[in-house]
Amino acid sequence: MASNNICTNILAKGLINKSFSAIGPNIAPIAQALDLASPGEPGQAADGVFWLKDGSLLIASVESEVGSNSFIKYGTYLYGTLIDLENKSITPKDVIMLVIFTGDVVDPPAPHVLTASSITPTYAFLGNFDGYQVIDDAEKKLGSGMPLDDEELLRLIFSPLMGTKGKRLDILERGIEVAKKIEDDDTQSFVAAGLAVVSKKFIKGRFRAEIKEWLSMTSLAKVYQDELDALSSLLDEANSEVKDLTKEYLTKAKEALEVKKLKLAAELRSAELELQMIDMKAEMEFYMSMPL
């Protein structure tokens, strides 16, 4: 996914071998998340670009409404991504524009073909799922000592967006409580990162406090700390390099000053000798000019 954000990177890594078929459309599993130049204005880029295991390219965008300019926006995503791939001399086997609608959208958009690229968007409707039921099913399975499979993990991540706007925060809070029961640290980090990334686009206010508190209790906290430690180490190295360069510069400056001093001393000595020679010549001429 196009971001250097830690949560986004963890989510992208965890999505490998998983498929968006878990929330509707029949799509091949993900082989790799791509970090491409994001087309459009800030906040108007696609939410993710992926290589699929069948050789196709998937461009995904999560939307909460169908506007009159929606298809222009999807076309912008496609055009920008394909241009970036062309610049890298990469040609995908096929391109899928996946639009994931939150529970706010119940009716499919009118049929529309993106004529500029001859690609018809593929839709996934999260409103077809009951977010509360997804969470209840996950809680029961975890309670029985069984791990969640890939489809269940993806549905749990998208569960807050399965409800309408007024229910999202409540579903998110319940989803967090259930995800805390996941025993495997890597899987819990994947779900934590997923809920953080997916929900951030649509849930405001208390969202930040809820997620921040939970992240501090998961293995993601260690990931962040490791990242901070790595950055701190790089900063120390950079500062050390600056000090070394400064010391080297000062040493060379001191050496240059010594050379200059020696040169000035030599020039002064030369000038003194010249004056002595002039004095000697003048004295010689004086004595030579005296009458015998």
C-alpha 33 chain-centroid distance: 12
- Cβ count near 153 (within 10 Å): 22
User: Tell me, what's the pLDDT at 31?
Assistant: 93
Provide the whole-model pTM: 0.67
Nearest Cα to Cα of residue 196 among 207, 185, 205, 187: 207
Sites in the chain below the pLDDT cut of 70: 1-7, 36-45, 68, 110-120, 203-236, 239, 244, 272, 276, 279-292
Does residue 101 sit in helix, strand or coil? strand
Tokens of 166: 């007024």
Per-residue pLDDT tens digits for 186-217: 898 888 888 888 877 776 655 556 666 666 65
Sheet containing 57-63: order of strands: 30-33, 48-52, 57-63, 95-101, 122-125
**Alpha-carbon distances, residue 253 vs 195, 247, 256 (angstroms):** 57, 10, 5
Give Cβ neighbours of residue 230 (< 8 Å, ≥ 6 apart). Answer: none
Distance CA 229, CA 173 (A): 30
List the domain boundaries for the chain: 1-128, 132-218, 235-292
Per-residue pLDDT tens digits for 230-270: 666 666 677 677 776 777 777 777 777 777 777 777 777 77
User: Tell me, what's the pLDDT at 165?
Assistant: 72
